[in-house]
Amino acid sequence: MSLDPEDLRVGASYEAARGDARAAAIELRRRRRIDLGDLISVVFESRETLAAAAEEALRAERIEDREWVRGEAGKFALLLPPPGGLAASLFVEVADAAEMASVLSELDGIAGSIHLEIDGSPCPAAAVAPGPVAEGAAPVACLRFELTPSQREAWTEGARVLLRAAHPRYSVSTELSDEQRAAIAADLMPSSPGQRR
C-alpha cells in the first residue's frame, strides 16, 4: 500500500473537487470510526482516509510545490496500515478544551491499553507517535495492529470483533457493527495486481 504524491490533488484541482471529496471522506471515516465510551474514538485509517487528510492539510497550508507535496505524502504514508494489519488514530474527545490537559494526564498510557478481540482472540495495539494533522482534533496516538493469519481470516469471514480499552482509569469495550467490520475488512484483503495498497 502506498500514498503517492502524484495521486494527491492540490490547488485549483483540489478546490474543484473538494465538496464531493470531503463528503466522501466524511462518510468513509464515519464507517471506520469506533467510539470507545464517552471520551475516546478510534478511526481505522486506509489509503483513502489518509489521502483525504493529506489533501486537506496541503490545502490548509497552501502547498502546491511538488517537492513539498512529496514531503507531506511521506509523512501521511507513515500512518498506512502494515501489510495484513491495521492502523488507527486514537482521539480523546473532551467538550471543554480547558479540561483536556487533566483528562490526558488521567488517561496517560491509554494507547498501550487498546486492543482488538477477534472471535475471542486478542490483538494488542502498538502505539506509535501521532501523525500529521489536517484539521480538527489531533490524534493522541497512532495505533498499529498486527493480525495473525487466523485473525484476518476470522475478521473477513464475519467474526465478532470488539475494540477494548483496558486502562486502570478507563475500561470499556465496543462491538463493531457489521458496517464497521466490513469497511475495515477491506484493508485485510490481499491487493490484486496493479491495485495500489
The pLDDT-based confidence of 135 (bands split at 50, 70, 90) is very low
Distance CA 118, CA 133 (A): 30
Flag whether 163 is in a domain: yes
Query: How many angstroms separate the most distant Cα atoms in the chain?
Result: 50
131 pLDDT above the threshold of 80: no
Distance CA 100, CA 80 (A): 27
Beta pairing partners, 143 = 88, 127
- Domain containing 92 equals 5-188
Flag whether 195 is in a domain: no
Beta pairing partners, 114 = 165
The strand order across the sheet containing 121-128 reads: 33-36, 40-45, 86-92, 141-145, 121-128, 114-118, 161-167, 170-175
Flag whether 193 is in a domain: no
Flag whether 110 is in a domain: yes
Flag whether 197 is in a domain: no
Residue 63 is placed in which grid cell? 502547498
68-115 confidence digits (pLDDT tens): 988 888 888 888 888 889 999 999 888 787 888 888 888 888 999 999
What is the residue-averaged pLDDT of the chain?
87
Flag whether 102 is in a domain: yes
Number of folded domains in the chain?
A: 1
Flag whether 14 is in a domain: yes
Distance CA 57, CA 63 (A): 9
Flag whether 177 is in a domain: yes
